[in-house]
Amino acid sequence: MDRILESWRWVVGATDRGTRLDHYVASKEVGPTRSQLKRLIERGFVLVDGEEARPAKKLQPGQAVELGLPPPEPLSAEPEDIPLDVRFEDDWLVVVNKPQGLVVHPAPGHPRGTLVNGLLFGRTAAGGDPLRPGIVHRLDKDTSGLMVVAKREDVHADLARQFHDRTVERCYRVLVVGRPPAGGEWRTLHGRRPGDRKLFSSKVERGKPAHSEFELVEQLGSAAMLEVRLKTGRTHQVRVHCKDHGFGVLGDPWYGPGRGLPPALREIHDRLDGQALHAGLLGFRHPATGEPLRFEAEPPAAFLAALAALRAL
């Protein structure tokens, strides 16, 4: 095992019975993000009673959990042969359908195996931060869906202007708990959650404006599928707006429904390895040709399986 810079040890209490290992370690707020901690678990830096374990392992009272934090890995954006679902590509840009679980660009805890690494294999990407060349917008690791990436600096600048001017069409499908209205909009402030700087909230006194429009696609008993259109692009915006308006996102460890779910819903929630959130529609003007482009992608298998399970309740 690599050299350890810092280490922690906890004993699981009665109130954490059944908690996933990655959720338990993340709740300790030792520094790394949830995605970084999950990768540390996968690399064997988190032990349960002295043994390596999966991120989804359910803990029991009395078990000892140990975390060893290794030195940060050097960051680079090197080409890697990673299969990608490319929906459109020309000399100026590429549109890709990002799978759930894939990090967009290299970062501490994820120096390799990212979308950027895969995009650089056999093609160029340019503009913006050298560690995330061509990236104009991003999706969270566990959010799936459509992204556009620039191949040239001038294309990156043009796309960035379109996002800034809010002319890009972005639409998400999301599975939530509750009974939302038929449609409407959410206009809020958006800022760091008081008491937890890694998360965001609309219940803040100061922050940036956040605007989402939503429509109820299907009521699924005590759950629902929503279509949410972004008018602004704040970090975690869909997840925050749903959660703060009483509709926790299924599968989401941070903005999910919390405790008290009926057993059947709890099973569906726990079975999801990340939020049931999919960026299924992306539309923008081609920076070189001026042509309007619009792409759609179906949700991934895990999302569709959860949807089918909800319909069967």
Pair of tokens at residue 156: 């990156």
Handedness of CA 16, 265, 236, 74 (dihedral sign): positive
Query: How far does CA 301 lie from the centroid of its chain?
Result: 16
Q: CA–CA separation, 27 vs 271, rounded Å?
A: 20
DSSP state for residue 16 in the 8-state scheme: G
Q: Catalytic: which of 140, 142, 244, 252?
A: 140
Residues 6+ apart with CB under 8 A from 263: none
Pair of tokens at residue 249: 């996102």
Q: Is 91 a catalytic residue?
A: no
Q: Contact at 8 Å (CB) between 163 and 285?
A: no
Q: Give the pairing type, strands 144-150 and 277-285.
A: parallel
Cα–Cα nearest to 103, from 58, 138, 73: 138
Give me the DSSP letters along 234-249: -TTHHHHHHHHTT-PB
Max intra-chain CA distance, the chain: 63
Helical axes 263-271 vs 301-312, angle rounded to 10°:
170
Catalytic residues: 140
